[in-house]
Amino acid sequence: MVRALLLLLIVAALALAPAAVNAQIPDKFKNLEVLPKDIAKPELVQIMRGFSTSLGVRCIHCHVGTDPNDLRAMDFAADDKDTKKIARKMMALTAEINTSLTQGIGAMRPERLQVGCFTCHHGNRRPETLQQSLIAVLDRDGLDSTLVAYKRLRNEYYGQAAYDFSEWSLITLAEDLAKKPVQQPAALAMLNLNLEYYPESAGTYARIAETYLAAGDTTTAMKSFDQALKLAPSDPWLKRRVDSVKAKK
């Protein structure tokens, strides 16, 4: 939430003081490789603002400078930062995708949409899913840190487009983790964490049951299946799955 408020204040400040911002940006641009070399200043400023809001970053993320609040101190032409080089590649890729889509599906889908930075980034600096973020923490710092990371991300980003905090997000992650026996405890921990936010999630209880089944604990699995059936008694798939497990006992 703090990050969202900060970004909102940044955007508001730019919107309320365009003259001050424009005064800090040079009138002529050097070292343009993807954007047209004769691009008008208002158009370039608008594009850069789009990058800022789509990735949740400031100008200094890509441009060389010492003070993020003083654009006059920035060397916009410098190519020192890898983030700027990556941005160029992504701009070219985005243009290529939009061109290819126009040529490939134009006749079939005249109301086609254009992809942009926000399509993948959703206001996040790294265009990664919640699952990818949590797996990185799990591999690097362990399970306890991963549970803490989920709660931190949820507190900071919930209600935004950056991450999917819906009921099935952690269920899907747990399903992938449980495929490796060594990760089954982590899968169960993720599912129990999901119950803190979705206590009546039949899907979570069903996935807990499947994880215990994979570990060879049919008795505990059936308890979770029973809880899932109480929450979703008319679910046909769940009924068939429970009947098939009972038939094997």
Residue-level pLDDT at 3: 53
Query: Helix/strand/coil (H, E, C) string of 210-235?
Result: HHHHHCCCHHHHHHHHHHHHHHCCCC
Residue-level pLDDT at 110: 66
Residue-level pLDDT at 6: 46
Q: Which residues pair with 22 in a beta bridge?
A: none
Q: Which value, in Å, is the radius of gyration of the alpha carbons in the chain?
A: 24
Residue-level pLDDT at 144: 98
Q: Please, where in the chain does CATH 1.25.40.10 lie?
A: 130-248
pLDDT along the chain (249 residues), means of 10: 48 48 72 90 90 90 88 88 93 88 71 84 92 97 98 95 95 96 97 98 98 95 97 95 87
198 neighbors 42 (Cβ within 8 angstroms): no
b/e string for 206-233 if b means 16 or more Cβ within 10 A?
bbbbbbbbebeeeeebbebbebbbebbe
Distances (CA, A) of 203 to 45, 136, 208, 229, 232: 47, 25, 9, 10, 9
What's the CATH superfamily of 130-248?
Tetratricopeptide repeat domain (1.25.40.10)
Residue-level pLDDT at 17: 44
b/e string for 82-103 if b means 16 or more Cβ within 10 A?
eebeebeebbeebeeeeeeeee
Residue-level pLDDT at 113: 74
Q: How far apart are CA 189 and CA 79, in angstroms?
A: 45
3-state class of 64 per DSSP?
Answer: strand
